[in-house]
Amino acid sequence: MTIVYITIGIVLLLTIGFIISYNTLSTRRNQIENAISSLDALFIKRYDLIPNLVNVVKEYMDFEEETLKKITAMRTLPNDSTKESEASNLLKGLMVQVENYPELKANTQFTHLQFSLNEVEEQISAGRRYISTSITDYNNAIVIFPSNIIASITGFKNYEWHYANKTQQTSIDTKTLFKQS
């Protein structure tokens, strides 16, 4: 009777070990998929965000340039009475613009763009490190005893790297974006 209990105990321990190893391998494989998905989300964020920020900066630069041209035009107007009403209308329009945008400094917009670029690139770098660690942990687990036995029995294979598409992986060339109209 003791041999039966020992046999049941060994089978039970092996079954529990099998379940634990299988669950660990499954969790690590899912962690890789999650990391890849998160990194792709960051690539997509960069792909969508940076061109939009560049457009905002370009529009603000255009606004600032137009406002400065109007100010210069007002300074060069002659002082006769016929031009006075034209200058008054120009001044009213300019005041509305200045009230809406009291600080005419495109450098603030450039600073925000620069900060956003840096932040997105740092997030992508952290995401890449996380994927690398996740894949390394998983690939190590499927070759180290005893989980390598479970991996071969259940069909766990070495993880192949997946990447975002080439366009989304490419760093955004803001110089080109500023030249586009």
The structure's pTM equals 0.57
| Overall number of domains in the chain | 1
Classify residue 176: in a domain, yes or no: no
Count CA within 13 A, CB hemisphere, residue 153.
11
74-127 residue pLDDT tens: 666 666 555 556 656 665 665 565 555 555 455 677 777 778 888 888 888 888
Angle at 109 between CA 106 and CA 113, to 5 degrees: 140
Structural domain harbouring 61: 2-123+130-167
Between CA 177 and CA 88 the distance in angstroms is 38
User: Do residues 122 and 141 make contact, with C-beta atoms less than 8 angstroms apart?
Assistant: no
- The structure tokens listed for 173 are 């060339």
> Which residue type does 99 have?
E
The conformation of residue 142, written as its DSSP 8-state character, comes to: T
Classify residue 177: in a domain, yes or no: no
The conformation of residue 105, written as its DSSP 8-state character, comes to: -
Name the least confident of 13-27, 66-80, 118-132. 66-80
